[in-house]
Structure 1
Amino acid sequence: MPEIHQSIAQHYHERTKYDPDTLASKSQRIDWAKQPVPFKEYKIGNDFDLKPYLQETSEEFATNPDAQLWRRISLLLFHSYGLTARMPSLGSAVYLRSAPSAGGLYPAEVYLVSRGTPFLPPGLYNYQCRNHSLKHFWESDVWQALQAACFWNPCLENTQLAIIITGVFYRSAWRYEDRAYRRIFLDTGHLLGNIELAGAITDYRPHLIGGFIDEAVNELLYIDSEQEGATAVLALADLLDIRQNLPVGPTALPSSTETNYPYVPDGELLKYFHHHTEIQTGTSGKMTLPTVQPEKSLEDKYNFSFCDKISTATTPIDWGENLSELANTIYKRRSTRAYSGDDLTLDELKSLLDFTYQPQNYIDQNLDHHPDYFDLNLIETFVAVSGVKGLEAGCYYYAPKAQELRQIRFKNFRRELHFLCLGQELGRDAAAVLCHTADLKSAIAQYGDRVYRYLHMDAGHLGQRLNLAAIRLNLGVSGIGGFFDDQVNEVLGIPADEAVLYITTLGRQR
């Protein structure tokens, strides 16, 4: 039996840690015959082809309002989760998308919900990224049901469109087993980052909704909750419609905290944990809005008197006229497979941190100065520096409010980074390795076990901004979701119960 004082989120995190003494014995040979297909197919429904709207080739877009709207939706979906490359692999093909995914498994599905517009009839749509189309698989009005499932979130009152993201569990669990739950939500965070930025390109503002009744949203989409589950809802506000220019609202609601649970066998932990982070209906059967603790205004941590403090204030990255370079960067983004071992410059590191954490510096480029996250106050950022010109090797805490790096350890950790990244050369040859962590116990006290979803989606969202900034600067970047958890804590010099969420390696491509 698990220790009674541990919540299911703490138990899941501890149990899915990678340990160098047990990883080899626990790992199983991958059954390639059972590799999942990362695309969803519908046998019924009407298809809306979005490909003609990717290229603005005629005057029709200037004179036809419907064509303009179709073009915006087409570009939004393509830059969020569209196919960007086809690569041969073992006699088949691997399709790369605009958002990165661990192992190229792409566990997320993207659904569009229409309230009913002149160009998009009411109902449910699935984004078919393989041929860049929308499958209209349910033609009835479901908007009121969506509002009820989201506790009548005010963002859904005036908007006409919404995006629902789900996770298909087996797509990642096939390879990563129970630890796949972490990767599913990191990958969802990558997608949320793309949706945020693609919205800026297409004049939509996505309003993130993480508090919803899971069962109700799953039933609305007609999905099997044992195989697939809703992970995020986004009300899609049209910035060209003054009525849809909405104030920023709350994004995260708490779930219960489960401490009384049985032992769950390996292979069943992922689904058990997901179902125990769901928000339920009220006991009367009505949709009752859970109460949430007031948001705390936290100061940056690790502000020791002995810390060397380096300002990260810098000139913002230029994303081109009408964000043309942002669109191009999303399209050409790739995860780096090998680094040269050459140094980055301090100015380059500053630019990476600036775009990732200081969105207010990009308001002049028409980017959202306050994009939605669940709660960034819960996320801490550390940078292990091995090769940055102008910066001593060691571990640094990044203080986003003060916009400075604070050195907390004084050693070159290349050897340790190589080991803790499961022996991947990316960890050894990177110039800098950025780590996202969170005080899991404190986070659970605020949002219940559901916070495990929020933490990983926020870390993935930050990671995607970091990805795009690196590609724009012609640097190499690769996210790592597989690492020896406790060894990361040792290198960073942080408490053992601080949960490591995500690692991003940065350097020069080989």
Structure 2
Amino acid sequence: MTQRNADVRAALDFHAATRYWRAGTGTGDERLVMGTPPDVESAIWEEDRSLEPYPFKVYETLEPIAIPREFTPSALPALLTVSADGTAPGGDVVPDLAALARIARFSNGLLDRTVTVRGTTITYRTAGGTGARYHLELYFVCADLPGLAAGVYHYAAHDHSLRRVRSGDVRAALVAATGGEPAVAAAPVVLAVTSTFWRNAWRYKARAYRHTFWDAGTSLSQALAVAASAGLPTELVLGFADQEVNDVLGVDGVREATVALCALGRGGASAPSVEALPPVDLPVRPVSPREVTFPAIPAMHLASSLATGAEAADWRSATTAAAGPEPAGPLTALDPLPDHALPPEPVEDVVLRRRSTRNYDTDAELGFRDFSTLLDRSSRAYGAEVRPPLDCYLIVNAVEGLTPGVYLHHPARGAVELLRAGDFRADAARIAVGQEYCADAHVNAYWLADLGPLLERYGNRGYRAAQLTSALQAGKLHLGAHALGLGAVGSTSADDEVVEFFSPHAAGKTYLFVTVFGVRRPRTAPPRR
């Protein structure tokens, strides 16, 4: 049985077991719990602080390979690269070492900002991560490149360097694992994103598996934009034989596993055939003195895995209806900025000053053109072999010329549909488990999916794809907000309360991800009301 036709109860049961709920009587004793009543548990672990995971993967015996640290800003506006479609002019486009260093730095590198939580100092990354519990690793599988010999390289974020895990050109193994995916076959470099689940699960338990794809989507939104700024064609690939790819990278597929691939560039030398690869046996610094396994994570990962390249090819051959629901309410046409009017700031500068904004100016309106530009640019098509259809619902609190209320974005129509008018600031905070900045923000954007047809076509792996895609689109919106001088932040929500709030229109759908955005409150402003 292929993954596409497999029993999808695994995805549905996992989602039910990792729902967030607000428990209590509403008299000050409310708390966040996870699960489906009556089977609920505390949403947060962190029970043994001596096990707090080390946030980096460190190969103890591999010498670091120096890579560029300083980068000339690209010439394209950030919003142009955020909305790039992944294509490039014909001919060979082969990245060099500097291009890989740039992509790694601006999608999973370190910032010069830290936070101390209960005695632990955490250094922020260039891409946001849930709770700053960073768990992603980047690997490059490449041919001979200008400045870098063929091999498999791990990007070490802690010292901004590469370490060679394998020597030689083994790209053919990835071609086989993806079932001959054309973009992978033509790419001189394939970027692989892995997650070490425990590094996030230490805080978030089994829900960390959702965060795996949220954080991967956020990181990839920046990797795609940086690649576009360098003129590199890209294609995101989510269908692959999991263990075959893990074996290429030398990861076990249980504690650390590949969650996404991205073809970078086009052309150059063809991938030579490869024999069976020897296992990678390299000592790695322990993440913790010991690790706690939350069984739902390995169970869901196994249930959504593909065994062969043939299964991967079959999986991506499925199609879903791309057309969204027909609008029934009033439509307002969006008015996005054209290419020539976009702010000129490059994506590298935007990434370095990106923040999680939790203070919004409730005395100002968000300009309608900025609102339009963000929805338009973040929802445009990008290079990917699978893009699950998602619905973006909006709580509009204060946008110039728009009636406050609940809206649905129709990307193909370039419009938003008014579903329900009213002041829903209090509801925005309520379904965000009491986080008041959601009430203050000018817009709350929620991505939902109809999992029924999605899982029918893509099996349990469709759940992975939906979670990652929602976060990737939100990541594009977050970058775009900062490019326009605005603020944005991802949030937490009570799953079923989100669906109930957007119903009846959203009845039967599943909540995936939320980002709020708007005009930042000036630092000199008085405290929030």
Deviation at 1:377, TM superposition (A): 5.1
CA distance in 2, matches of 1:314, 1:222: 45
Q: Is the 8 A contact 1:84 1:332 kept in 2?
A: no
Deviation at 1:84, TM superposition (A): 2.2
The letter for the 1-side match of 2:22 is: P
- TM-score after normalising by structure 2: 0.80
Q: Is the 8 A contact 1:308 1:407 kept in 2?
A: yes
Structure 2: gaps of 5 or more residues: 1-5, 25-31, 34-40, 74-94, 271-291, 522-529
Q: Is the 8 A contact 2:447 2:514 kept in 1?
A: yes
Q: Is the 8 A contact 2:97 2:145 kept in 1?
A: no
The match for 2:116 is 89
2:418 counterpart of 1:407: yes
**Among candidates 105, 113, 116, match of residue 144 of structure 2:** 116
Q: Is the 8 A contact 1:54 1:74 kept in 2?
A: no
Deviation at 1:80, TM superposition (A): 2.1
Equivalent residues in 2 for 1:78-477 (5 A)? 78-90=105-117, 91-238=119-266, 267-281=294-308, 289-290=313-314, 292-304=316-328, 307-316=329-338, 318=341, 324-342=345-363, 343-358=365-380, 370-373=381-384, 375-376=386-387, 378-477=389-488
Give the aligned CA root-mean-square deviation in angstroms. Answer: 2.7
The percent identity for this pair of structures is 26
**Among candidates 502, 507, 516, match of residue 492 of structure 1:** 502
Q: Is the 8 A contact 1:84 1:98 kept in 2?
A: yes
CA distance in 2, matches of 1:6, 1:134: 39
CA distance in 2, matches of 1:182, 1:441: 18
CA distance in 1, matches of 2:14, 2:477: 27
Distance 1:316 1:130, change over 3 A: farther
Deviation at 1:6, TM superposition (A): 6.1
The match for 1:75 is 102
Q: Is the 8 A contact 1:218 1:230 kept in 2?
A: yes
Deviation at 1:123, TM superposition (A): 1.6
CA distance in 1, matches of 2:296, 2:430: 27
The match for 2:77 is none
The letter for the 2-side match of 1:408 is: L
The letter for the 1-side match of 2:449 is: A
CA distance in 1, matches of 2:472, 2:304: 20
Deviation at 1:117, TM superposition (A): 3.2
CA distance in 1, matches of 2:196, 2:413: 39
Q: 1 or 2, which has the higher helix percentage?
A: 1
Deviation at 1:408, TM superposition (A): 0.7
**Among candidates 38, 59, 66, match of residue 49 of structure 1:** 66
Residue-by-residue CA offset, 1:127-151 (whole Å, 9 max, x unaligned): 1122211111222432222222122
CA distance in 2, matches of 1:29, 1:8: 23
Deviation at 1:375, TM superposition (A): 4.2
Deviation at 1:345, TM superposition (A): 2.3
The match for 1:10 is 12
CA distance in 1, matches of 2:431, 2:395: 12
2:107 counterpart SS class: helix
Distance 1:190 1:445, change over 3 A: same
Distance 1:154 1:347, change over 3 A: closer
Deviation at 1:484, TM superposition (A): 0.8
Structure 1: gaps of 5 or more residues: 57-67, 245-264, 359-369
The structure whose RCO (Cα within 8 Å, separation 6+) is larger is: 2
CA distance in 2, matches of 1:374, 1:18: 31
The letter for the 2-side match of 1:327 is: E
Deviation at 1:339, TM superposition (A): 2.2
Distance 1:205 1:106, change over 3 A: farther
Distance 1:440 1:478, change over 3 A: same
Q: Is the 8 A contact 1:195 1:206 kept in 2?
A: no
Q: Is the 8 A contact 1:417 1:428 kept in 2?
A: yes
2:23 counterpart SS class: coil
CA distance in 1, matches of 2:316, 2:169: 31
Deviation at 1:93, TM superposition (A): 2.7
CA distance in 1, matches of 2:212, 2:312: 28
Q: Is the 8 A contact 2:237 2:263 kept in 1?
A: yes
CA distance in 2, matches of 1:42, 1:185: 24
1:487 counterpart SS class: helix
Residue-by-residue CA offset, 1:269-302 (whole Å, 9 max, x unaligned): 12210111000138xxx88842555534533314
- TM-score after normalising by structure 1: 0.83
1:84 counterpart SS class: strand
The letter for the 2-side match of 1:18 is: Y
2:504 counterpart of 1:504: no
CA distance in 1, matches of 2:161, 2:167: 16
Deviation at 1:208, TM superposition (A): 1.6
2:58 counterpart SS class: coil
Distance 1:499 1:74, change over 3 A: same
CA distance in 2, matches of 1:406, 1:94: 42
